[in-house]
Amino acid sequence: MADHLEDDEQIEALKRWWDENGKSTLVAVALAVAGTVGWQQYQGWTVSQSEQASEAWESMQQLLTSTEAGAEGDARELADLLKNDFSGTAYAQFAAMRVAALDVAAGDLDNAEGQLRWALAKAGAQSELGQLVQLRLARVLAARDDEGAALAILEAGGGAYPAAYAIARGDIHMAAGRDQEALDAYLEARAALLALGNPPGILDIKINSLGARLAATEEAAL
């Protein structure tokens, strides 16, 4: 229930966030500090911070693909470094999301929720990255049997990920035995995928299965 993005999808989302927000963020901060420090000095500091955060993130990614003993522990330490020393960067937020994924795999849903809430506080609920974090948080909450909180997040809407939000709602409804609500959510997700030019894939299997089950139930009730 609490599935997470693959590494390449996370990296792509990070790149997209930086392309859309990175430059404007730098400009806004630059204007704010222009009265006290020189732009050239600030620019050098910003580049240095970004490079260090990027290097830490890359090292963390490499550790998470390593089979060596202790690699995961070292990756977690790098995540803590990113969160403590580079908390304002998207790299830190993605590091928290990766740790949350590790926690989910280990069955530590409490810590996974904490990691995701930290990332959400830094990213902002309305940002594209924030919507991604909320999607993961909703699945973690659902796995913790906090269905109401999970659905509240998903029903608030995720404009950047409409299909993924709808699928998550459908999964929660189906797990609770609400077949019609699940089918409605899956059909919404299918429409969103087609609008984006993406094939529904396995989603069609879920839709067909639910449709057949509902039809059988209605027939038996006659």
Taking the alpha carbons of 10, 128, 156, 152 in that order, is the dihedral positive or negative? positive
For the ranges 18-22, 42-46, 169-173, the maximum mean pLDDT occurs at 169-173
pTM as predicted: 0.77
Query: What value does the mean pLDDT take over residues 161-179?
Result: 95
Q: C-alpha 95: how far from its chain's center?
A: 11
| 21 has pLDDT over 90 | no
Find the length of the chain.
222
Each as own residue / partner, the long-range contacts of residues 155-162 (CB below 8 Å, 24 or more positions apart, any chain) are 158/131, 158/134, 159/131, 160/128, 160/131, 160/132, 161/131, 161/132, 161/135, 162/188, 162/189, 162/192
Domain boundaries, the chain: 1-150, 161-215
Lowest-pLDDT range of 5-14, 133-142, 202-211: 5-14
- Please state, in angstroms and rounded to a whole number, the distance separating the CA atoms of residues 177 and 84: 43
| 190 has pLDDT over 90 | yes
**Residue 31's pLDDT band (boundaries 50, 70, 90)?**
low
Reported as a single tens digit per residue, the pLDDT across 78-88 is 999 999 999 98
